[in-house]
Amino acid sequence: MPKRTYQFTAKTTPERAIPANPKRLAYSIVNNGAVTVYTGADAGLTVASGEPLVAGAMVSDDEDKEDVYVIAESGTVDLRITELLEA
């Protein structure tokens, strides 16, 4: 099963961190920064509507194949993303 790992910088505007992929089996996002980021399903994401991912934490999902958006609470935040894909 192929694995793709990359760095993404979250900012204070919502951006797509993980594009939709029907061949995705799972993904994880690690907040490698010092500020909370929020995750959500679309570009309308805000810090009030997203799921919080605190500094140093990880979130994973083995069902979602859709876009994943992120937004930083403040400044910029270093994220590490891994996707597991079908062969």
Residue-wise pLDDT tens digits, 15-46? 999 999 999 999 999 999 999 999 999 999 99
> Using CB atoms within 10 A of its CB, is residue 26 exposed (0-12), middle (13-18) or buried (19+)?
middle
Confidence label for 10 from pLDDT (cuts 50, 70 and 90): very high
Count how many domains the chain has: 1
Q: What is the CATH number of the domain that holds 69?
A: 2.60.120.770
Q: What is the mean pLDDT of residues 49-68?
A: 98
The contacts of residue 73 (CB under 8 Å, 6+ apart) are 12, 35, 36, 37, 38, 47
CA distance 5 to 26: 12
Show the domain range for 48. Answer: 3-85
pLDDT recorded at residue 1: 80
Residue % of the chain over a pLDDT of 90: 98
CA distance 3 to 72: 25
Model's pTM, two decimal places? 0.95
Distance CA 46, CA 38 (A): 8
